Amino acid sequence: MYKECIFSDPPRDHCFPPSFGALSLRSGGCEIYGVIYTAQGKGPRPTMLFLHGFPGNEKNIDLAQTFRRAGFNTMLFSYRGAWGSEGSFSFSKVLEDSLAAVEFLRSDEARERFAVDGGRIVLVGHSMGGFAAIKTAAACPFIRETISISGWNIGLDGKLLPEDGAAEERVRGLVDGAASRLAGTSPDALLREIAEKKNEFDLRDSVSSFGGRSVLLVGASQDAAVPPEMHHDLLFEAFRRTDGVHVEGAMLDDDHSYSGSRVALAKTLLEYLEERGY
């Protein structure tokens, strides 16, 4: 891996330069839109799929560009009903769309057009994207490395809503602030889905699927959106207690968007993947 990728560009490969491509994928009968940043070199190359949060104001494009410089293809997309993608939004559809994106990266088209190595896909999710990364990896045993950044355990919040007034106020604030940016939904519909699928959406019930695989959980100590003592610590402990799972954790002193530690966040991910042999 190119170790200076955080701060500088690699020597240019004039035979196989880096490139950029716009994507249109099908999921649930709808077009969902994304981009892929292809790294330089002949390939095939490992590819990182970045899953954005709720509703996706922060898309972590700086991380996608950093890891493209490090030799990864990097892909970002918007879920149904978000940021111009067709259809209506729901948390269940986020999971369906994430699986569709993984399926694309495993396709002949991805290999031929973008030199994607379908056997080396790394999922990276932020906030709701962390929820999607864990759930998607649980359904895809060929994914060896999963990274969750301030992952939102939506199912845990669903269980807390009836009994924890502070959690109810926090989650209500999240859905009220996001719903206007998402098509085909409302704050009440989103809260209903969180409550109705609290068991299905609890990430702690997915950890048993990760035997023989690796997970990095990154948290932010000043995170008011998904407080780390609930959403990071409890999930980390569930992974730690599961036989055969290699789990690592990191805690940065920052807010939910890592506003003051973007370089530190990139270094945390880079060092983890270097340890995993990339």
Query: What domains, with CATH codes, occur in the chain?
Result: 19-153+204-275 (3.40.50.1820)
Note the pLDDT tens digit of each residue in 235-246.
999 999 999 999
**Mean pLDDT value across residues 93-120:** 97
In the sheet where 30-38 sits, what is the strand order? 19-27, 30-38, 73-77, 45-51, 116-126, 145-149, 214-220, 246-252
**Mean pLDDT value across residues 13-39:** 97
**Mean pLDDT value across residues 99-122:** 97
Average pLDDT, the chain: 97
pLDDT higher than threshold 90 for residue 79: yes
Note the pLDDT tens digit of each residue in 135-182.
999 999 999 999 999 999 999 999 999 999 999 999 999 999 999 999
Q: How confident is the model at residue 220 (pLDDT cuts 50, 70, 90)?
A: very high
pLDDT of residue 3: 75
**Mean pLDDT value across residues 51-72:** 97
Whether this model's pTM surpasses 0.75: yes
pLDDT higher than threshold 80 for residue 124: yes
pLDDT of residue 262: 98
Given the DSSP bridges, would you call strands 30-38 and 45-51 parallel, antiparallel or unpaired?
A: unpaired
Q: Is 175:161 a contact under the CB 8 Å cutoff?
A: no
pLDDT of residue 14: 95
The dihedral built from the CA positions of residue 162, 166, 167 and 168, taken in this order, carries a sign that is positive
Q: How confident is the model at residue 88 (pLDDT cuts 50, 70, 90)?
A: very high
pLDDT higher than threshold 80 for residue 2: no
Q: How confident is the model at residue 195 (pLDDT cuts 50, 70, 90)?
A: very high
pLDDT higher than threshold 80 for residue 1: no
Nearby residues of 185 by Cβ (< 8 Å), 6 or more positions away = 81, 88, 89, 90, 179
Question: Smallest Cα–Cα separation from 95: which of 124, 47, 150, 134?
Answer: 134
pLDDT of residue 68: 97
Q: How confident is the model at residue 61 (pLDDT cuts 50, 70, 90)?
A: very high
Return the structure tokens found at 225: 């959106």
CA distances from 221 to 33, 73, 165, 251 (A): 33, 30, 21, 6
